[in-house]
Chain A
Amino acid sequence: MTEGKILTMNGAGQAVSSDYAMTLLLKFRTVLALVLVVAIFAVLAPNFLTVANALIMLKHIAIVAILAIGMSFVILTGGIDLSVGSIAGLAGMVAGALIINGLPLTALGVVVYPSVPAVVGLVLLVGVGIGLFNGLLINRFQVAPFIATLGTLYMARGAAMLMSNGETFPNLIGNPALGNEGFSRIGAGLLLGIPAPVWLLAVIAAGAAFVAGSTTFGRRVYAVGGSERAALLSGVRVDQVKYAVYAISGAMAALVGVLIASDLVAAHPASGESFELNGIAAVVLGGASLTGGRGTIVGTLIGACVIGVLGDGMVMVGISEFWQMVIKGGVIVTAVVLDRLQERLG
């Protein structure tokens, strides 16, 4: 490895420039992958390059991307959060229950129907709560993140099923008399012609990129992922960082659950199944290392775009479901292989 590097620096000009081109190519591979899939589908799929389709795709990307941004923080610390898909499912169900059945305050003997912003707030709290519980298992009880969040994956999914005995909460339109209408606007609403989830994604991505890149907290996240021991020795409260990243991931997952339920105007307890895998794939496609310490929010965003465009494009072309799975898997594996190559070339 070192030998290769020295050769690059001291070798003939030819070798340097071709290596340089290779490195550059690898460095921007996610962007290239995105350009490539867009170009392919622009040729193959009718109406692919239209504003309307771009907005639909952005809406679908927002679901993957918001989840993946939360996941990025966790993966940057060297952890993993498998519970996000289930949290999304549970979050949708909690929102559905709050809108249809209200919040029974048994102590006071009344049922309160929270307004839609309050519903979203409560649901986000549920997400944060589960994230903190993940953090507790990982920090206090030294459970490996994979196992801790696998446990909460099952618990949250079970809780979602229990909330309605497995049934759907339909027609989440609210009731003007109870002052809780407007839930569907979160997922289906438009602002300046752009869907609300896309605005949400823009705000979240900008915020997350700032936090990860330009704040003390962000530097600590990278430090924990780079070397937990070194971070600990240099005075970083590793446990606090971990609580925070799982809480962020939980909140993002809950938000995704709200978006899905709002879009469908119905909450189904099986929603969000295997979303965690899409999230992880987006983060890895974006160039992050699963061992932590390396990756960017912008990378994750582009990774999510690749996943989203690929998924929608294949549907538009009419590729069979089975081939869709094979192709998606192929793209993910190729990305990781290129990642290894880049590491070797430095």
Chain B
Amino acid sequence: MIQTIALTKKFDQLRALDAVELNFTKGGIHALVGSNGSGKSTLMRLIAGVYSPDEGQLLIGGREAYDCPAVKQRVFFLPDTPSFFRNATVLTMADFYRRLYPNFSMELLKSLQNVFPIRLDQRLDRMSKGMQRQAALMLALSSGAEVLLLDEAFDGLDPVVRGTLKALLISWAEDRGTTTIIASHNLRELEDLCDHVTLLHKGKVICSNTLEELRGSLHKVQAAYRKLPTEGQLLKLNVLKCQRTGSLLQMVIRGDREEIMTQVNALEPLFAETIAPSLEEIFIYEMEVRGYDIRELL
């Protein structure tokens, strides 16, 4: 659906994106995560056609996105700070988007009122930040775009609305095949929503994979021993991180779960268990492996 080939964007001397190679599949919910200034928003603006690439290509459905109305009609960009016209209501903005997005649905917008507690005739500049974001999300969902680019989508939303939004995005992806790309710092929010995660750091892609694959490759093991195993005994395991608290070892191990547990049990622990690592933990470990300072990232 969306493909970037050696995509580079420079701002004066700064390389905001550096030869980024990515693929976003149709109907997927993709998470873009990374530190401040990692290039998430820049990538989103490039996909939305707000920026032009300095080098490389950005293809949506096989066509260059920049300054191409036919491609941009399929994409709706919701920036981190939504912009509305002065004194505009949701209806005013809907009237604006309706003229430019052929699949924009006023009926859908009205029906979304049942989900988001927003009055369509209320002035946007009199709404709170969270309400403004809800209004922007209503417009984005009503646009009929095949690709939704949501920058900091959950920013300012209360837990109930966050849950509702997640459900809506999943339903949009399943029923309509909408591709959603969400940029966020909040990995916990993305964990139960996204099926694909891309980690950016300083304009480069650290890793990009499905959440399942990421989870399947890393395991967090807790095991208590009467006699702690030696380093030599642990060498058989691909331990990324090991932390000792008394007789308890907490390890992050890469590999197949069954094989890991067989190896761990062979060392005769008092007890041993695997815990599924959170998305946040996966990225911390992945970053550490790559020599990045995690404190810089999260």
Q: Do A and B bind each other?
A: no
